[in-house]
Amino acid sequence: MLKVTVKGTSEALASNIQAHLGKTPENDVQRRAFLFNVEDNVTNALQSMGYYHAEVNTQIDNSQQPWQLTLDINPGDPVTIKWVDILFSGEMLEDEAFDSWLDTLTVKPGDRLNHGIYNTIKTQLITLALARGYFDGKFTLSEININRDDKTAKLNLHFDSGERYLFGDVTFEGHELNDNILEALVPFDDGAHYATTPLSALNRNLLDTGYFASIRVLPQVDNLQNQQVPIRVALASKPSHSIEVGLGVDIGNSSESGVDPRVKVTWRTPQINRYGHFQDTTAEWSPDRPKLLTTYTIPLSHPLDDQLKIRVGLLRDKYGVTQVYDEDNLTYSNTGQLEATKYQLAVIRQTRTGGNWLIGYSVEAVREFYNQSDVDYDPVLYLFGWGISRTQRGDNSLDPKSGFRQTYSIEYANPNLGSTIELTRLQAKWKWIDTFFDKHRFVTRLDLGANIVSEQDFDFVPPSLRYFAGGDQSIRGYSYQELGPYIDYINNDGIPARQVVGGRYLAVASAEYQYYVTPTWRVGTFVDAGNAFDRGQFEPVVSVGGGIHWISPIGPIKLDLGVGLKETETVARSWRLHLTMGADL
């Protein structure tokens, strides 16, 4: 019914005029009302962006359908800001948050007057005052003085915060936990200055416990008493049990199998009793590698920062590759892998420091059964461990744009304490993520490890404690744990054989570049390098590849193709497809 054309202005000013004019009319009645208000709406649009001396020429052509409305505008010189007067009074004068806010303001004398920016400043100030607990705050002066003759304006904002309110009592509803468990999660003291940031921290603490399906932290601003804000927390517990299923697969032409599927099922009981105990049981299956691990967690002095974990596991795994010599073909052929069955019982105390370092103290009993070089072994180790780790994320998403994780650990076993051998095990891991430019993400990692053990005792180091390389979390393009030092021997059939048995040391590094094609899809390319090795035997293996990643609602799902560039004595040049799911940190 009406087509509007704006001439003579910038794109931003034309868009503002269109916004003030509103939706174009759809019938004759709406068109008459629209045209009646055109002049006022255009004037308001121009003045809101500082143009108080504009000339507007309106032309209407009703000889065709739809009617044509042409607005030919000469904006003229804009009104500029001559003075900005922002004045605070009340207890906010002692609050550094307002000084920081003032530092972010960019409006200054000489700028073109923009009513939208002025209103945004007012809104920001009110919002900050409420977030900091100044519920009685108000503007004592709020005006724009315009001098049309010299085309200047003065901005005046005077704000009196009044007194700052304090945190009152925190009450929890809808739970079955002991009060002391939830009270330990409150990150502020009764009577501390009110602010929304500690409330967000409380919400995050409650979420991190894993006890609750829904959490609502509700400041009772309608029930202010004695300058205090009561806090009501409405909770709803999670279901008594939950089941999670994870899938993965390696596809390629490496040592024994072209397809290596993995299925992982996790059963969780988020709250067993009113003391906050909970358990996680993980059953993982892949061909010849079943694992069953249960962890029972008991909160101690703090439900998140001080926990006692009891871990029981039965794990079967396969390592490296076993080969026999084929005299007809004058080469070695694969016959299997080093297989081990591990029983473990561990007690771990895990604490978190104020700097977000996670510190663990552990005692672990391990007995492992395996056959190496046709000899049966079943060493028993009592490992006393200490570890420390820290994860820093640039954001809390499942696909952080930046972050850094570092992990260090040491474990020790001694025959005087019941172990078969003396062993010191050292590990250090780093992973770094950063997005230097929009859409360009970089991921690097470095894993180092060492087993300090005498030469004659190395065979009694269980395979689960030795170092191997290969797999989607190590060197892609090679099978899981197939790389490492090997030994030659004569098997029970009198045939020359060799077996990859793992090494004392590990050094593996990776660098990956990822590009976001869309916010939920990206492509990547990588280089992995390193190996497990013994003294003086470091033989690095390199792989390259790339893949496509989908950033799903439950975390990134990655399909990567890795190609090994090196042929070792026990592994030919290999390629593998790796399908994995889960966050990088």
pLDDT along the chain (585 residues), means of 10: 87 91 87 89 91 90 86 91 94 95 93 93 96 95 92 95 95 93 93 94 94 95 89 94 80 55 89 95 84 96 96 92 84 87 97 93 97 94 97 87 96 97 98 92 97 95 96 90 91 90 96 95 96 89 96 90 88 84 81
Query: What is the per-residue pLDDT for 250?
Result: 58
CA–CA gap between residue 10 and residue 204 (Å, rounded): 46
State the pTM of this model: 0.78
> According to the 3-state scheme, what is the secondary structure of 75-120?
CCCCCEEEEEEEEEECHHHHCHHHHHHHHHCCCCCCCECCHHHHHH
Q: Within a 13 Å sphere around the CA of 272, how many CA atoms are in the beta-carbon half?
A: 12
Burial (CB count within 10 angstroms: exposed 0-12, middle 13-18, buried 19+), residue 6: buried
Query: What is the per-residue pLDDT for 389?
Result: 97
Query: What is the per-residue pLDDT for 251?
Result: 62
Sequence length of the chain is 585
Query: What is the per-residue pLDDT for 575?
Result: 87
Query: What is the per-residue pLDDT for 397?
Result: 81
> Is the link from the previous residue into 287 a cis peptide, with omega within 30 of 0?
no
3-state secondary structure of 197: helix
* Those residues with Cβ within 8 angstroms of residue 402's Cβ, 6 or more apart along the chain or in another chain: 393, 394, 395, 433, 434, 435
Cβ contact 218:233 at 8 Å:
yes
CA 247 to chain centre: 21
Cβ contact 338:483 at 8 Å:
no
Query: What is the per-residue pLDDT for 256?
Result: 47
CA–CA gap between residue 411 and residue 363 (Å, rounded): 9
In terms of phi and psi (left: phi > 0; alpha: psi -120 to 50; beta: otherwise), the region of 197 is: alpha
CA–CA gap between residue 362 and residue 392 (Å, rounded): 24
Query: What is the per-residue pLDDT for 252?
Result: 54
Cβ contact 465:453 at 8 Å:
no
**Residue 398: other Cβ atoms inside 10 A:** 15
